[in-house]
Amino acid sequence: MAIRELKVCLLGDTGVGKSSIVCRFVQDTFDLNTLPTIGASFMTKTVSCGNELHKFLIWDTAGQERFHSLAPMYYRGSAAAVIVYDITNEESFYTLKKWVKELKEHGPENIVVAIAGNKCDLSDMREVTVKDAQEYVKFINAIFVETSAKNATNVGELFERISEQIPPLDPSQINSNGAFKVGRHQVRPTKRCC
């Protein structure tokens, strides 16, 4: 079975739960007392998708403003970007829109964009409605899920939906050891976000 390496980056405001989503996805753990990410951190996880294996090379970026200038290193060459906001923090939804704009202007042409409205376990403190988020996401043609890294809600589904957006391999692109790398040119062009 061919293994495809898919570079994926997580972007979004500090504190929205990017590292928590990655920890939940890769290690199935959650910590209420995380530290802000410094620079970026890297993890991998391989999942099956149809007849293929997708090895996600996950770059979890730091949301603090002082690290903003590093972001292009992580979204460049990415097959997908997960942009995270916190449903209890309207400000983080505006930051998400800035990331969408930046990706549109400077990101890979055919990058798959997934929007995650995290902390959906705190719906009594909600500041961003599902309707507002859905309307915006429809406008930019991206994947959308509300997640809870804490309760493990929709975290696997988020990455499954990204996998589904990656077009199946052209057999002529598989090398002798079954490995295949996918970058900006192999993702499905009709699924552009913006």
Ligand X SMILES: Nc1nc2c(ncn2[C@@H]2O[C@H](COP(=O)(O)OP(=O)(O)OP(=O)(O)O)[C@@H](O)[C@H]2O)c(=O)[nH]1
Binding site for ligand X (CB under 6 A): 14-20, 31-32, 34, 36-37, 62-64, 118-119, 121-122, 148-150
Burial of 139 (0-12, 13-18, 19+ CB in 10 A): exposed
Q: What is the nearest approach in angstroms of ligand X to the Cβ of residue 89?
A: 10
Q: Which residues contact 178 (CB under 8 A, 6 or more apart)?
A: 1, 2, 3
Q: Does 92 bind Mg ion (CB under 5 A)?
A: no
Residue 16 interacts with, from ligand X, Mg ion, none (CB under 5-8 Å by kind): ligand X
Q: Is 19 in the site for Mg ion (CB under 5 A)?
A: yes
From the list ligand X, Mg ion, none, pick the one residue 9 interacts with, judged by a Cβ distance below 5 to 8 Å according to partner type: none
Angle at Cα 80 formed by Cα 99 and Cα 131, nearest 5°?
55
What one-character DSSP code corresponds to residue 2?
Answer: -
Q: Which is nearer to ligand X, 53 or 145 (CB)?
A: 145
- Under the binding rule (CB under 5 A), the answer on residue 37 touching Mg ion is yes
Task: Pick the closest to residue 57 from 30, 25, 88, 32 (CA basis).
Answer: 25
Asked if 99 and 142 touch (Cβ cutoff 8 Å), the reply is no
- Tell me the closest approach of the beta carbon of residue 125 to ligand X, in angstroms: 9
Stretch that binds Mg ion, among 29-37, 89-97, 123-131, 152-160 (CB under 5 A): 29-37
